[in-house]
């Protein structure tokens, strides 16, 4: 099954996608992680992408779309995939439909996550990620802290706060961009009849892993 994760930053897309990936074996394909890897290695793609990401702006399609297409052609994505962070605009959604059509495939499920704005900002400010590129485990100092402060439970590597999570103004800018350019995708996929909207909020005790468990159960029931 080919799945897309939608939702503003901090709603838990990565958590949900990661759990589904573990249970199904379908790869979690995160454009954000690919960009960060290139930025850390100072590749040409990373240098160009960082010009936009560091300001909380979207990376242009001429950089993003070919990268995604290349990734979807890899062997591990042939039985299914979970896209996390792409598409983010209607233009990217149309480009994705076109590239998948060329492969004889289509998007079968779009999971749209919603979280109150104040929770999103707090989550992003308290998010920590593993510095080991082969691990990439994500923690939250309030909701999901590591057993030892600053150390990854899985591999023992140091944790860090992403640069784009440190500045509240940059976070606000990212949320504004999402509302402007990405939220129209909700209607786009609703019209296709493949949209599933879930609320993720500590206020109702319904978090990412709860949503992921429900989705996997529904997939297995089919």
DSSP strands (E only) in the chain? 2-6, 28-30, 81-84, 109-114, 127-130, 138-140, 159-160, 195-199
Residues with catalytic function: 13, 88, 127, 162, 174
Q: Give residue 202's pLDDT.
A: 85
Pairing of strands 81-84, 2-6: parallel
Query: How many domains would you assign to the chain?
Result: 1
- What is the model's pTM? 0.79
Full domain range(s) for residue 35: 2-116+176-221
Examine residue 200 and state whether it is found in any structural domain, yes or no: yes
Neighbours of 75 (CB within 10 A): 7
Domain presence at residue 124: no
Residue 41, in any domain of the structure: yes
Mean pLDDT value of segment 142-146: 88
Would residue 146 count as lying in a domain?
A: no
pLDDT above 90 (res 57): no
Which residues touch 50 (CB under 8 Å, ≥6 apart)?
35, 39
Please check whether residue 151 lies inside any domain of the structure: no
What average pLDDT does the chain have?
A: 90
CA 11 – CA 16 distance, rounded (Å): 9
Q: Is residue 30 part of a domain?
A: yes
Give a yes or no: residue 141 inside a domain.
no
Q: What percent of the chain is predicted at pLDDT more than 90? A: 54
Q: Are strands 127-130 and 159-160 parallel, antiparallel or unpaired?
A: antiparallel
Q: What was the pLDDT predicted at 81? A: 97
Q: How far, in Å, CA of 163 to CA of 7, rounded?
A: 20
The yes-or-no verdict on residue 55 having pLDDT over 90 is: no
The CATH number given to whatever domain includes residue 193 is 3.40.50.300
Percent of the chain with pLDDT over 70: 100
């Amino acid at each position: 099954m080919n799945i897309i994760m939608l939702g503003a930053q901090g709603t838990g897309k990565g958590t949900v996608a990661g759990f589904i990936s573990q249970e199904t074996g379908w790869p979690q394909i995160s454009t954000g992680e690919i960009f960060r890897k290139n930025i850390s290695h100072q590749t040409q793609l990373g240098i160009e992408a960082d010009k936009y990401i560091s300001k909380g702006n979207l990376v242009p399609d001429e950089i993003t779309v070919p990268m995604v297409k290349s990734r979807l052609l890899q062997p591990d994505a042939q039985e299914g995939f979970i896209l996390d962070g792409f598409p983010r605009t209607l233009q990217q959604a149309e480009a994705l439909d076109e590239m998948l059509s060329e492969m004889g495939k289509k998007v079968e499920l779009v999971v749209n996550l919603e979280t109150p704005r104040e929770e999103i900002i707090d989550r992003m400010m308290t998010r920590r990620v593993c510095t080991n590129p082969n691990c990439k485990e994500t923690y939250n100092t309030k909701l999901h802290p590591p057993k030892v402060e600053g150390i990854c439970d899985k591999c023992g590597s140091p944790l860090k706060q992403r640069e784009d999570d440190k500045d509240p103004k940059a976070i606000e800018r990212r949320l504004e961009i999402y509302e402007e350019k990405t939220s129209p995708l909700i209607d786009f996929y609703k019209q296709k009849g493949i949209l599933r909207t879930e609320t993720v909020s500590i206020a109702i005790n319904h978090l990412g892993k709860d949503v992921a468990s429900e989705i996997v159960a529904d997939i297995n029931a089919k």
